[in-house]
């Protein structure tokens, strides 16, 4: 082992050899290999990051229960609006109140879960300006995991919790024959819907790499889109419904699969396969969002300094 001369002339043995091979462990153990391993590492990174933010939030002793309660109250107003509408009519676009409850419940649940898991990504522009993205990029964890977990707080459980209550109520109030295909479809749409909204959050936020004020646009697709999905497709113009089917795939969150569950005709007259295509639409959304994120990182210019 080589010895090194230090200032005072005494020689010191280096604590470890100098060769670049002197890594702690074989590389294969350190860097996740393969697609599945990398995905698991991305999730694990998110989890580690989210745990840190949860602990950081505890440094400020605002009452968790109080804030969660306030959160539930505010998001509940959305559905109160729907209920008030039904004071004067018992149908909206041909849909009953329990049916609207199902629309509302699924849309709010999907949005709420996506917001809980990845919603923080919409502050990307601020992270870029503050330089915290640089810090994330030097860690051996996917930057997207870290950005999505930033400011993670369970307080955001308010919306999905409240949506679940509405969902349970509407399922009990509806006269639907819950055959296995419908149960499965409901479960699939909740997951797919969460994924679609998540992809919209990420894809929309990615625009902030190029255009600092893109947050408003992204919010109009996510929060605005969720509000759109509270109402039946029949109350909107056909062009709009087509737009959220073939453009931004919002219709796959709940409109299309609920047509099958509730046995309603498709206002666009699309093939029935569309009503089962939510998982496919979700997968495509993830692909597009992932490609956009990659392009964004390559275009990243740094915070300056």
The residues of the shown chain that bind other proteins, judged by CB under 8 A, are: 4, 6-7, 12, 14-20, 22-25, 29-31, 45, 48, 52, 55-57, 59-60, 131-132, 134-135, 137-142, 298, 300-302, 305
For the bound state, the minimum distance from the C-beta of residue 302 to ligand ATP, rounded and expressed in Å, comes to 5
Distance CA 134, CA 164 (A): 38
**By CB under 6 A, residue 10 contacts ligand ATP:** no
Where do the H-state alpha helices sit in the chain? 27-30, 34-58, 64-85, 97-118, 124-130, 132-137, 143-149, 158-173, 180-206, 214-228, 238-242, 255-262, 278-299
Distance, CA of 181 to CA of 261 (rounded, Å): 9
| Sites for ligand ATP among residues 262-301 (CB under 6 A) | 301
35 binds, among ligand ATP, other proteins, none (CB under 5 to 8 A by kind): none
Residue 304 as a binder of ligand ATP (CB under 6 A): the answer is: yes
Question: Bridge partners of 11?
Answer: 5
Closest CB to other proteins among residues 139, 238: 139
Which listed option, other proteins, ligand ATP, none, makes contact with residue 135 (CB within 5 to 8 Å by class)?
other proteins
The whole-angstrom separation of Cα 290 and Cα 202 is: 8
CB of 57 to other proteins, least distance (A): 8
Looking at the chain, how many residues does it have?
A: 305
Distance (Å, rounded) from C-alpha 228 to C-alpha 100?
Answer: 12
The reply on whether position 172 binds ligand ATP by CB under 6 A is no
Which residue lies nearest ligand ATP, judged by its C-beta?
301
The residues pairing with 261 across neighbouring beta strands, listed in sequence order, are none
Q: Name the site residues for ligand ATP (rule: CB under 6 A).
A: 301-302, 304-305
């Amino acid at each position: 082992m080589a010895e090194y001369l230090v200032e005072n002339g005494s020689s010191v043995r280096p604590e470890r050899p100098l060769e670049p091979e002197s890594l702690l462990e074989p590389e294969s153990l350190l860097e996740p290999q393969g697609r599945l391993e990398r995905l698991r590492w991305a999730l694990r990174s998110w989890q580690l990051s989210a745990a840190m933010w949860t602990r950081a939030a505890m440094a400020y002793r605002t009452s968790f229960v109080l804030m969660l309660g306030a959160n539930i109250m505010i998001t509940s107003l959305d559905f109160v609006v729907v209920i008030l509408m039904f004071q004067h009519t018992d149908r909206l676009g041909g849909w009953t109140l329990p049916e609207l409850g199902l629309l509302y419940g699924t849309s709010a649940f999907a949005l709420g879960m996506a917001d809980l898991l990845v919603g923080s990504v919409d502050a990307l522009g601020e992270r870029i300006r503050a330089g915290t993205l640089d810090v994330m990029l030097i860690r051996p964890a996917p930057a997207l995991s870290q950005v999505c977990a930033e400011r993670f707080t369970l307080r955001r459980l308010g919306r999905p919790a409240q949506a679940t209550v509405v969902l349970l109520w509407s399922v009990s109030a509806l006269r639907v024959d819950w055959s296995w295909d419908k149960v499965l479809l409901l479960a699939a749409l909740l997951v797919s819907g969460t994924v679609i909204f998540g992809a919209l959050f990420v894809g929309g936020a990615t625009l902030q790499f190029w255009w600092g004020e893109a947050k408003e646009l992204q919010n109009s697709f996510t929060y605005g889109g969720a509000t759109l999905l509270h109402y039946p497709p029949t109350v909107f113009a056909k062009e709009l419904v087509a737009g959220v089917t073939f453009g931004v795939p919002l219709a796959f969150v709940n409109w299309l699969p609920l047509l099958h569950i509730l046995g309603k005709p498709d206002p666009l007259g699309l093939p029935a396969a569309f009503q089962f295509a939510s998982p496919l639409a979700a997968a495509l959304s993830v692909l597009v969002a992932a490609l956009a994120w990659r392009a964004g990182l390559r275009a990243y210019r740094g915070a300056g300094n």
